[in-house]
Structure 1
Amino acid sequence: MKVVFAGTPEFAATALAAIQAAGHEVVLVLTQPDRPAGRGMQLHASAVKQFALQHQIPVLQPMSLKLDGKYPEQAHDAHELLKATPHDVMIVAAYGLILPESILTIPLYGCLNIHASLLPRWRGAAPIHRAIEAGDAETGITIMQMDQGLDTGAMLSMQRIPIAAADTTTALHDKLAELGGQMIVSVLQQLPTGGLTAIAQPEQGITYAAKIAKEEAALDFALPATVLERKIRAFNPFPGACGVVNGVTLKLWCAELAERPDSAKVGQLILQDHMLLVACGEGALRLFELQKPGGKRLPTAEFLKGFALDDKSCFE
């Protein structure tokens, strides 16, 4: 099939690579404009753009696709190019721009979205983070036919996977990206034969996965340890859960549940045989990996060699 692909991060690049490897002809890639990143704030191409350039696939990077938006000329040019580029279907994965109805109706088979949740749970921008944060036992991939709503389209395919007790967003992202690539290849094989049945999403169980804000990284240790442990995994790698000790913001990258000493107050740090506990509103966390500003992520024993803490230390 002739495919137009719209996506931006590594999650999308994994699906694009699977489509290419399966022998489909990717005739055009849409991705977000290059963004400044890193300490030097140099412009960096998205993972999808990098893959496209490596495989000589034409790339389009409009700021918007809405004809009545802030960049009408770019949107108009994108519309005209899509109309002039013969393709059977558009595949969308973590693209980051809204597709208006005028684009959804261009391909013969419409636009299909690879969404990293079991719809209608976790519609929206950050389904992987929110599933871990909420303590969901499972998640998965839904391939849906896109419509004008926010992840509201009819479902063509769904597969479930368990969320392991130690899964971070990084680990779960990689599992789901691989699964998404496999599933979209299967869907593309069945699409021309009419072997897929579009199923409307249930009206019950709808939740929204709001975009992750940096402010969410600051942990409130008055919360139960179970909640905070999930946040630490959900915010790894971004934005990185953190707390302030002696005026210094520390990143907390890995923790497990522990018993809270009876005499400990909320936020207090307790040293135990080169290990570090922090008392929470209920229970405690044993911290395994920390990072100070400008430093590296370090196991607790190594971290404590370069950052002085004692039993009087406390997270603010």
Structure 2
Amino acid sequence: MRVIFAGTPPFAAAALEALVAAGHEIVLVLTQPDRPAGRGMKLAASAVKQAALAHGLPVYQPTTLKRPEAQARVADCTADVMVVAAYGLILPQAVLDLPRLGCLNIHASLLPRWRGAAPIQRAILAGDRETGITIMQMDAGLDTGAMLAKTVVPITDADTAATLHDALAAAGAAAIVSALDAYGTLVPQAQDERDASYAAKLSKEEARLDWQQPADALARAVRAFNPAPGAWTRLDGAPFKILCAEVAREGEADAPPGTLLRADPAGLVVACGGGALVLHEIQAAGSKRMTAAAFLAGRALRPGVRLGD
């Protein structure tokens, strides 16, 4: 097929690589403009742009697709289909109507659950046992189009947003290739609005741990916010990131939530609203990521200290 591909981050780059490997003709790659990144804040190309250039594919980086010149560039491609994955720009109806077969979206959830910007993290936060990929025929709504295919991906107790992202990226790459191969036999299925939920964008403030919550909810939060924006609390008034944690096996803690119960090389054990949380990897303000053992080697921390204040 003649394919226009629209995407920006590594999740989308995996799908682009798969489409190229499958032999589809990529007539245009749409991706967001280069953004400042790194310590020097130099302009950096998106993962999709890097992949496209590596294959010698034409790249177009408009700031919006609402302008006539941008729509004309897409129309000139006479594409069979546009494949969209985490592009980050709104596709107006005029663009949705341009490809012969319309626009297909690779969405990282089992729609209609977790429509929106952060489906991977929201699934972990909610304690979902599975998520997946939905290949969807795009319409003007927010992830509301008819579903063409689904792939289920389990969520384990060890999954972080990073590991689940990688699993879903691989599943999405395989799913879009299969969907295009079988396009003529796929039967669109409308989403049931009664089952819809919204995966709102993450914020740094939301990633601040509330020690009044039960330990299992806080353990999910640590996994969901890893790597970004990073679960955090305060220790002696300074930000204190928590990168790896698990529910303590000893059960309920007889101390106010946020109280440090134990500090040894095995971890920092903190009382929660229900049970306790063992912090295995942390990052203090101005320091690098380290294990609890490494942290304690350079700092004395006694039980009774309150986190979060």
Q: Which residue number corresponds to residue 82 of structure 1?
A: 74
Q: Structure 2 vs 1, CA of residues 262 and 240 (structure 1 numbering), >3 Å: closer, same or farther?
A: closer
Q: Structure 1 residue 214 and structure 2 residue 204: aligned?
A: yes
What is the deviation of 1:86? 2.4
Letter in 1 for 2:36: P
Structure 1 CA distance for aligned equivalents of residues 165 and 253 of structure 2: 38
In the alignment, is the contact (CA less than 8 A) between 1:289 and 1:298 conserved in 2? yes
What is the deviation of 1:292? 1.5
Q: Which residue number corresponds to residue 260 of structure 2?
A: 269
Letter in 2 for 1:184: I
In the alignment, is the contact (CA less than 8 A) between 2:263 and 2:302 conserved in 1? no
Structure 1 CA distance for aligned equivalents of residues 155 and 52 of structure 2: 31
Q: Which residue number corresponds to residue 296 of structure 1?
A: 288
Percent identical across equivalent pairs? 59
Q: Structure 2 vs 1, CA of residues 3 and 108 (structure 1 numbering), >3 Å: closer, same or farther?
A: same
Q: Which residue number corresponds to residue 93 of structure 1?
A: 85
What is the deviation of 1:54? 1.1
What is the deviation of 1:260? 5.3
Structure 1 residues 42-191: aligned runs within 5 Å: 42-66=42-66, 75-191=67-183
Q: Normalising to structure 2: TM-score of the pair? A: 0.96
Q: Which residue number corresponds to residue 226 of structure 2?
A: 236
Q: Normalising to structure 1: TM-score of the pair? A: 0.94
Q: Across the two proteins, how many residue pairs are aligned to each other?
A: 306
In the alignment, is the contact (CA less than 8 A) between 1:137 and 1:162 conserved in 2? yes
Tell me, which stretches of 5 or more residues in structure 1 are unaligned? 67-74
In the alignment, is the contact (CA less than 8 A) between 1:260 and 1:280 conserved in 2? no
What is the deviation of 1:227? 1.1
Q: Structure 2 vs 1, CA of residues 53 and 314 (structure 1 numbering), >3 Å: closer, same or farther?
A: same
SS at match of 2:36: strand
What is the deviation of 1:303? 1.7
Q: Structure 1 residue 17 and structure 2 residue 17: aligned?
A: yes
SS at match of 2:150: strand
Structure 2 CA distance for aligned equivalents of residues 21 and 233 of structure 1: 33
Structure 2 CA distance for aligned equivalents of residues 54 and 187 of structure 1: 25
What is the deviation of 1:35? 1.1
Structure 1 CA distance for aligned equivalents of residues 197 and 185 of structure 2: 29
Q: Which residue number corresponds to residue 312 of structure 1?
A: 304
Q: Which residue number corresponds to residue 251 of structure 1?
A: 241
SS at match of 1:216: coil
Letter in 1 for 2:151: Q
Letter in 2 for 1:81: R
Structure 2 CA distance for aligned equivalents of residues 294 and 32 of structure 1: 32
Structure 2 CA distance for aligned equivalents of residues 261 and 132 of structure 1: 23
Letter in 2 for 1:314: R
Q: Structure 2 vs 1, CA of residues 262 and 7 (structure 1 numbering), >3 Å: closer, same or farther?
A: closer
Cα root mean square deviation, aligned: 1.2
Structure 1 CA distance for aligned equivalents of residues 286 and 50 of structure 2: 29
Q: Structure 2 vs 1, CA of residues 262 and 165 (structure 1 numbering), >3 Å: closer, same or farther?
A: closer
What is the deviation of 1:41? 1.4
Tell me, which stretches of 5 or more residues in structure 2 are unaligned? none
Q: Which digits, 9 at most, give the CA deviation of each residue in 1:143-179, with x for residues without a partner?
A: 0000001000000000112110110000000000000
